[in-house]
């Protein structure tokens, strides 16, 4: 009886884990960021394909706010920045970029 309960418990735990893992993978595939950031020589390029303006916040590596930029709907903005490491945040994500 104890073996049967143990078997059932383990089977349910393994099955739940497999289902949860599968669900997460399918969710990851469905998420597409409609906003993006990339760095080029001396610039940070912010783009959005949202139907509304999006505000990006650019922080220094020590967490000090350097700039806040609102990107118009379905457009791209190029910002001149000195060389360094930056943290860029928008409402959906936070990313680190290196300006060379």
What's the CATH code of the domain at 70? 2.60.40.3080
- Confidence tier at 99 by pLDDT (50, 70, 90): very high
Q: Range of 26's domain?
A: 1-31
40 lies in the same domain as 22: no
15 lies in the same domain as 41: no
Instruction: Give tens-digit pLDDT for 24-44.
Output: 454 444 445 689 999 999 999
92 lies in the same domain as 51: yes
The reported pLDDT for the residue numbered 3 is: 64
Longest C-alpha distance within the chain, in Å?
A: 70
Look at residue 100 and tell me whether its pLDDT is greater than 60. yes
The answer for 20, left when phi > 0, alpha when psi is -120 to 50, beta otherwise, is alpha
């Amino acid at each position: 009886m104890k073996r049967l309960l143990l078997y059932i418990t383990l089977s349910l735990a393994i099955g739940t884990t497999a289902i949860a893992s599968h669900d997460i993978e399918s969710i990851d595939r469905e998420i597409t960021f409609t906003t993006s950031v990339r760095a080029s020589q001396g610039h940070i390029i912010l783009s959005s394909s949202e139907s509304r303006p999006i505000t990006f916040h650019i922080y220094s590596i020590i967490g000090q706010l350097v700039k806040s930029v609102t990107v118009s709907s379905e457009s791209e903005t190029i910002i001149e920045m000195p060389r360094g490491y930056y943290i860029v945040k928008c409402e959906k994500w936070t990313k680190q970029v290196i300006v060379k």
